[in-house]
Amino acid sequence: MKEQHRSTSEIPAQIIDQFGRRLTYLRVSLTDVCNLRCVYCMPEDMTFRPRRELMSDDEIITIVRLMADLGINKVRLTGGEPTVRPNVVEIVRQIAHIPGIHDIAMTTNAILLAQLAEPLARAGLRRVNISLDTLDPKKFRFITRWGSLDKVLAGIEAAEAAGLRPIKINAVVTRGFNDDEVVELAKLTLDRAWDIRFIELMPFGSEANFAQSAVVRSAETQEKIESVLGPMQPVPGHDPRDPARPFRLAGARGTIGFISSVSEPFCDSCNRLRLTADGKLRLCLLRDGEFDILTPLREGMKLTELKHAILDAAYYKPWGHQLPDGVIPQSRVMSQIGG
């Protein structure tokens, strides 16, 4: 298959890897900078990349357009914190106009959403995933090192008012920080039509030891929730490419999902590629292999050649992680990849 890519001048409008997985979803990190410092994500004294190493607005649009030509149809903007990127609204607007991109979503901590939800929605953003690990303001400040829970709640409200739906809430379950709060978080789905997803902590680079000692498996989280709130039922019609299979508590408006990257990886249905803020195509969240797109673009490589190079690189997307064998991604922490 790889030889076919090389021998035809016509570039196939799809990226298929060595395992036959069709890659149609690109997560784009707009910046490695964040306005918070979540304990499991980055150290308090994190240093960020110099601006010149990051993709410019035009470079982001060029690369996304190129990826759309190769069959990418869904884009998620992430970071760091994507809303701190200057011109984020304009970037969304331009991506929304790229032929072939049918869906633009964002993963955000929502601190700035009260101001930005409406303009982002008008620019073409369709959905947001909002990170919220606790409903206790003091704990929130502790986990994020200085964040304000009120701002996040105001951000969620603004997202709803702007019509960004469905609202998905991401809660990373961290032992000793918020594992005692999963029932309270799950209860939110009783009254609100939110999709709450409990995420297993993943180990990365300098933060790996902490993540390994504080990981809580999804099975434990589910048991804890069901022991208090009763059994939850699987929601029919689940898209197998969505890593969180949804469940519903009796009478609940929203759903509960579990993203069990550590204990039950979902690699067979993976359709994702990641573009880091410094312009590297990361083939798997939990493996270090990357392909540099930005350098050849800056050096003037023809876009047709670059597309061939991307097809070749993506062909070698690894099957999945090797955490059970002790292989931990070292080159970046989560905020430098985008989650």
Interface residue with ligand SAM among 199, 225, 275, 314 (CB under 6 A) is 199
Report the interface residues with ligand SF4, using CB under 6 A: 34, 36-38, 41-42, 79-81, 109, 131, 335
**Number of Cβ atoms within 10 Å of the Cβ of 323:** 19
Q: How many residues of this chain bind ligand SAM (CB under 6 A)?
A: 20
CB of residue 126 to ligand SF4, shortest distance in Å: 20
Pair of tokens at residue 207: 């933060």
d(CA 203, CA 9): 41
Give how far the C-alpha of residue 1 lies from the chain's centroid of Cα atoms, to the nearest Å.
29
H helices present in the chain, as ranges: 2-7, 57-69, 88-96, 113-123, 137-144, 149-161, 182-191, 208-214, 218-229, 294-298, 303-315
Pick the stretch among 58-66, 153-161, 200-208, 246-254 that binds ligand SAM (CB under 6 A).
200-208
DSSP assignment, residue 206? G
**Quick one: 42 or 68, whose CB is closer to ligand SF4?**
42
Q: Which does 37 bind (CB under 5 to 8 A by kind): ligand SAM, ligand SF4, none?
A: ligand SF4
335 binds ligand SAM (CB under 6 A): yes
Contacts of 58 (CB under 8 A, 6+ apart): none
List all residues 6 or more positions away from 8 whose beta carbon is below 8 Å from its beta carbon.
Answer: none
Q: Are 328 and 208 spatial neighbours (Cβ–Cβ below 8 Å)?
A: yes
- For residue 334, state whether it binds ligand SAM (rule: CB under 6 A): yes
Give the shortest CB-109-to-ligand SF4 separation in angstroms: 4
When CB distances are held under 5 to 8 angstroms depending on the partner's kind, the choice from ligand SF4, ligand SAM, none that residue 199 binds is ligand SAM
State which of residues 75, 91, 202, 232 lies at the interface with ligand SAM (CB under 6 A). Answer: 202
Closer CB to ligand SF4, residue 41 or residue 116?
41
Q: Kindly report the length of the chain.
A: 339
Q: How far apart are the first and last CA of the chain?
A: 30
Q: Shortest Cβ distance from residue 99 to ligand SAM (Å)?
A: 27
Whether 76 contacts 28, CB under 8 Å: yes
Among 24, 109, 189, 222, binds ligand SAM (CB under 6 A): 109
Rg (CA), the chain: 20
Q: Minimum CB separation from ligand SAM for residue 12, in Å?
A: 31
CB neighbour list of residue 290: distance below 8 Å, 6 or more residues apart: 276, 280, 281, 282, 283, 331
Pick the binder of ligand SAM from 24, 31, 94, 131 (CB under 6 A).
Answer: 131
Beta bridge partners of 125: none
Closest approach of Cβ 187 to ligand SF4, in Å? Answer: 23
Q: Is 41 in the site for ligand SAM (CB under 6 A)?
A: yes
Residue 36's alpha-carbon distances to 81, 141, 200, 288, 333, in angstroms, are: 8, 9, 20, 25, 14
**79 touches ligand SAM (CB under 6 A):** yes
Among 24, 31, 107, 221, binds ligand SAM (CB under 6 A): 107
Residue among 129 and 311 whose Cβ is closer to ligand SAM: 129
Q: Which is nearer to ligand SAM, 15 or 255 (CB)?
A: 255
Q: How many whole angstroms separate alpha carbon 44 and alpha carbon 32?
A: 14
To the nearest whole angstrom, how small is the minimum distance from the Cβ of residue 300 to ligand SAM?
32
Q: Which is nearer to ligand SAM, 201 or 294 (CB)?
A: 201
Question: At closest approach, how far in Å is the CB of 196 from ligand SAM?
Answer: 12
Residues linked to residue 198 through DSSP beta bridges, in sequence order? 171, 258
Please give the residue ranges that form the binding site for ligand SAM (CB under 6 A).
34, 40-41, 78-79, 81, 107-109, 131, 170, 172, 199, 201-202, 204, 211, 334-335, 339
